[in-house]
Amino acid sequence: MKKLLLATGNKGKILELRALLENLEAEILVPEEIGLELQVEETGKTYAENAAKKAKAFAKASGLLSLADDSGLEVAALDGAPGIFSARYAPEPGATDADRRAYLLQQLKKFPKPWSARFSCTAVLASPAAELHLTNGICNGMIISQERGEHGFGYDPIFLIPDMGMTMAELKMDEKNQISHRARAIKRMIPMLLSYL
């Protein structure tokens, strides 16, 4: 069976990606399972640059087809921030997801509601021969000031999907994987994955 490496150590992402890729006839691996320890600095200026850096580095180090993504929350009132800095948004070192959500809400206090926002994701597939394939996905919504829901990670508890009346964190995995930015990017990548596998 062909192998696909998920170029991430993020537990929340791994759960989502494994669920999204469960019907692929491939062995889905994570770096830990093959004894690969690799830290890739996300110094790119776009999601695509960051995802490509990760996918290429993991494909080169492992010799395996590797799938990476980079994503972020873009809030209109903050001119698209935190964007590519979403995972590093709170100023204090060692900040948690909860710290980042609290910091975001603090930044938004001076702006009138509603706070429209979107999640954006770029997925990159890298072959060991350094061939790259890129797809994008977007999910529109708004930021709310009260956290809701127990699922997901990151900014999910304060990201409301108006059509559903629920936050991303209130959705079960199969529901999230119908509409999320990551799901949309990965679903667009499936034909390319199938061509390799």
Q: What is the pLDDT of residue 57?
A: 96
How crowded is residue 10: how many other Cβ atoms within 10 Å of its Cβ?
15
Q: What is the pLDDT of residue 35?
A: 92
Q: What is the pLDDT of residue 40?
A: 92
Q: What is the pLDDT of residue 130?
A: 87
Residue among 70, 79, 97, 174 flagged as catalytic: 70
Catalytic residue at 70? yes
Q: Which two tokens stand for residue 170?
A: 């209130």
pLDDT in tens, 32-67: 999 999 989 889 999 999 999 999 999 999 999 999
Q: What is the pLDDT of residue 125?
A: 98
Total domains in the chain come to 1
Q: Which two tokens stand for residue 104?
A: 């975001």
Q: What is the pLDDT of residue 126?
A: 97
Q: Which two tokens stand for residue 112?
A: 């009138």
Please enumerate, as own/partner, the contacts of 31-34 that have beta carbons within 8 Å and a separation of 24 or more.
31/5, 31/6, 31/7, 31/58, 31/62, 34/5, 34/62, 34/64
**Cα–Cα distances in Å, from 102 out to 8, 46, 98, 118?**
25, 24, 6, 18
CATH number at residue 58: 3.90.950.10
Q: What is the pLDDT of residue 2?
A: 93
The whole-angstrom separation of Cα 62 and Cα 27 is: 14
Q: What is the pLDDT of residue 42?
A: 87
- The DSSP call for residue 26 is S
Token pair 């696909």 in the structure block, residue: 4
> Tens-of-pLDDT digits for all 197 residues of the chain?
899 999 998 888 999 999 999 999 999 999 999 999 998 988 999 999 999 999 999 999 999 999 999 999 999 999 999 999 999 999 988 999 999 999 999 999 999 999 999 999 999 999 999 899 999 999 999 999 999 999 988 999 999 999 999 999 999 999 999 999 999 999 999 999 999 88
Please enumerate, as own/partner, the contacts of 128-132 that have beta carbons within 8 Å and a separation of 24 or more.
128/59, 128/60, 128/62, 128/63, 128/64, 128/65, 130/56, 130/59, 130/60, 132/52, 132/55, 132/56
Q: What is the pLDDT of residue 12?
A: 86
Q: What is the pLDDT of residue 170?
A: 97
- Residue range of the domain that includes 165: 3-196
